[in-house]
């Protein structure tokens, strides 16, 4: 089926928005490891006086002040699924539909994830990021990969570095091993981090179960078979990420995470009470209120394609705090890498054009890891890159 070429449908773009966030940019290659990039040692950087290192400076268009307003995203009570209340499920699906048509963000409560498990996952963030720098660098992410430690993504980029440390790892939904993450932690961080691995093994299992409930709710909200997206992601390969944002005495000059959309399908976030997550809606930055009992859900680029552009993958960013450290737990839901990403046939109306051609998650993932820094136009840029790659395979 032909598809309609269009500018990025990530939000309703006005002329002023286009000035702030250009619709496209040249692909950005990751730095060569031998380029001598800086090492992010937050303790030393915090003690520095004077100017912020230029690598961490962000352009003024990205540092537009927040309005101090909050996003009015719905708070969805998932206890309705356990109760089997179909009327309440239908009402919740309508709340989700309205939010996803506009900006793709909502929060869920009574989600079934044990609060003690969430607390334990936060405790283990410290176990990772308070390791000696040499130990963390020994577990650093390999070029083109996703798993491992990263300090300000200095291994990939040389400018507009985020003021944060991350530790990421893959979670295979279909693995027969109940220790896949424990084994990974042992292999890169040693025997002392086995307990940390066990905590995140349980956390990822809980996130997988929750993600499938949310996929069912999304299916209902779109009016397709309620099991369609649940089945599609049942055998996925998701990504877990721990974020640590140290305090920064020049917080007005940098960002914890720059403006971007998530290339993955669905993001399940728990943020601590410091706050800092903001979403760009109606040409202004709106804060997402931290709720200890809730998880923040947002649509990513891949699910936007699975909904034929109906549901929005919205621009968002994370601020840093001058005085307080900030932590967050992020679970990125992804399909199996060879799954063909296309909307279900019964979603498309008569004579409705496809907004995106077929693609696989593995190709989009490769694009974001090796060729392009995620921004407001990631999906559209990927589609153009894929077309060029298919027509001129010798150039890629």
**DSSP secondary structure of 337-394:** TT-EE---GGGSPTTPPBSS--EEHHHHHHHHHHT----TTHHHHHHHHHHHHHH-GG
- Average pLDDT score over the chain: 87
Q: What are the tens digits of pLDDT across the range 61-71?
A: 888 777 779 99
pLDDT of 280 > 80? The answer is yes
Domains annotated for the chain, with CATH where assigned, are 55-356 (2.60.120.330)
Token couple for 75 = 């708070």
Element (H, E) at 98: helix 86-102
Q: Which helix (H) or strand (E) holds 303?
A: helix 301-306
Q: Is 71 in contact with 279 (CB distance < 8 Å)? A: yes
Residue pLDDT, tens place only, 21-30: 333 344 444 4
Please report which confidence band the pLDDT of residue 339 belongs to, taking 50, 70 and 90 as the band edges.
very high
Rounded CA separation 303/97 (Å): 13
Distance CA 44, CA 246 (A): 11
The residues carrying an active-site annotation are 326
Residue range 243-265: average pLDDT?
A: 93
- The verdict on pTM exceeding 0.85 is yes
Predicted local distance difference test score (pLDDT) of residue 45:
65
Confidence band, pLDDT 50/70/90 cuts, at residue 348: confident
Higher confidence at residue 48 or residue 390?
390
């Amino acid at each position: 089926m032909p598809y309609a070429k269009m500018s990025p449908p990530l939000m309703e773009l006005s002329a002023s928005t286009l000035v702030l966030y250009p619709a496209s940019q040249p692909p950005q290659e990751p730095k060569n490891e031998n380029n001598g990039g800086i090492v992010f040692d937050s303790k030393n950087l915090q003690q520095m006086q004077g100017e912020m290192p230029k690598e961490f400076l962000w352009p003024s268009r990205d540092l537009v002040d927040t309005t101090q307003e909050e996003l009015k995203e719905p708070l969805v009570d998932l206890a309705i699924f356990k109760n089997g209340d179909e009327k309440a499920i239908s009402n919740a699906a309508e709340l989700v539909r309205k939010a996803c048509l506009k900006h793709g963000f909502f929060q869920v409560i009574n989600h079934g994830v044990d609060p003690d498990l969430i607390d334990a996952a936060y405790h283990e963030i410290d176990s990772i990021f308070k390791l000696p720098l040499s130990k963390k660098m020994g577990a650093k992410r390999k070029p083109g990969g996703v798993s491992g430690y990263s300090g300000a993504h200095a291994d990939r980029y040389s400018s507009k570095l985020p003021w944060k440390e991350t530790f990421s790892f893959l979670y295979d939904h279909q693995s027969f091993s109940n220790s896949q993450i424990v084994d990974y932690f042992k292999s890169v961080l040693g025997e002392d981090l086995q307990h940390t691995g066990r905590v995140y093994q349980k956390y990822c299992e809980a996130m997988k179960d929750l993600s499938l409930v949310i996929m069912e709710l999304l299916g209902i909200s779109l009016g397709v078979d309620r099991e369609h997206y649940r089945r599609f992601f049942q055998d996925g390969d998701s990504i877990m990420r721990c974020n640590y944002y140290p305090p920064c005495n020049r917080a007005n000059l940098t960002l914890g995470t720059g403006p971007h959309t998530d290339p993955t399908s669905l993001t399940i976030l728990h943020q601590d009470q410091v706050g800092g997550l903001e979403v760009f809606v109606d040409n202004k930055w709106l804060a997402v209120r931290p709720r200890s009992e809730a998880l923040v859900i947002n649509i990513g680029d891949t699910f936007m394609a699975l909904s034929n552009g109906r549901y929005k993958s919205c621009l968002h960013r994370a601020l840093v705090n001058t005085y307080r450290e900030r932590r967050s737990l992020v679970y990125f839901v992804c399909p199996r890498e060879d799954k063909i990403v296309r909307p279900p046939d019964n979603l498309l109306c008569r004579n409705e054009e496809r907004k995106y051609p077929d693609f696989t998650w593995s190709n989009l993932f490769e694009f974001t890891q090796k060729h392009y820094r995620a921004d407001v136009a990631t999906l559209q840029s990927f589609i153009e890159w894929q077309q060029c790659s298919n027509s001129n395979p010798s150039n890629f």
